[in-house]
């Protein structure tokens, strides 16, 4: 398989999803679409904050993932698992940063910290 097709189908698709989340964020708490963790779904304030923060992080890290994978494919055309590892790492970093930000901004009951 052409390494560029592989990168575009894996990391490119992640970037497209990040654009969809960015331009069409979820309006209400739901179980189908958006950044859904138990803490982010506690109340509407956390839901809006978490989804806004996550979509920005997701967009940044998916773009970095796409560019890094394209550079890797141009350096080494026999790539196999590396683009998928970069994809998982970028999603993991976006989720961790979002959870850290939620914990710094809200208490365990879902109230904003002062």
| Percent residues over pLDDT 90 in the chain | 93
Q: What is the DSSP letter of 7?
A: H
Q: pLDDT band at residue 114, thresholds of 50, 70 and 90?
A: confident
Q: How far apart are CA 34 and CA 26, in angstroms?
A: 6
Q: Residue 13 has what pLDDT?
A: 94
Q: What is the DSSP letter of 38?
A: T
Look up the pTM and report it.
Answer: 0.91
Q: Residue 111 has what pLDDT?
A: 93
Q: What is the DSSP letter of 62?
A: H
Q: How far apart are CA 92 and CA 77, in angstroms?
A: 26
Q: What are phi and psi of 49, to 5 degrees?
A: -60, -50
Do 93 and 61 contact (CB within 8 A), yes or no? yes
Of 22, 40, 21, give the one whose Cα is nearest residue 30: 40
pLDDT digits (tens, 9 = 90+) for 32-67: 999 999 999 999 999 999 999 999 999 999 999 999
The three-state secondary structure class of 100 is: helix
Domain ranges of the chain: 3-105
- Work out the average pLDDT over 85-97: 96
């Amino acid at each position: 398989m052409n390494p560029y097709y592989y990168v575009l189908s894996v990391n490119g698709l992640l970037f497209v999803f990040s654009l969809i989340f960015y331009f069409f964020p979820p309006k209400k708490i739901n179980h189908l679409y958006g950044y859904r963790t138990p803490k982010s779904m506690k109340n509407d304030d956390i839901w809006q904050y978490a989804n806004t923060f996550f979509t920005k992080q997701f967009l940044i890290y998916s773009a970095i993932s796409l560019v890094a994978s394209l550079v890797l494919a141009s350096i080494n055309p026999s790539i196999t698992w590396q683009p998928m590892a970069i994809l998982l790492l970028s999603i993991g970093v976006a989720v961790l940063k979002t959870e850290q930000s939620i914990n710094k901004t809200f208490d365990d009951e879902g109230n904003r910290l002062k």
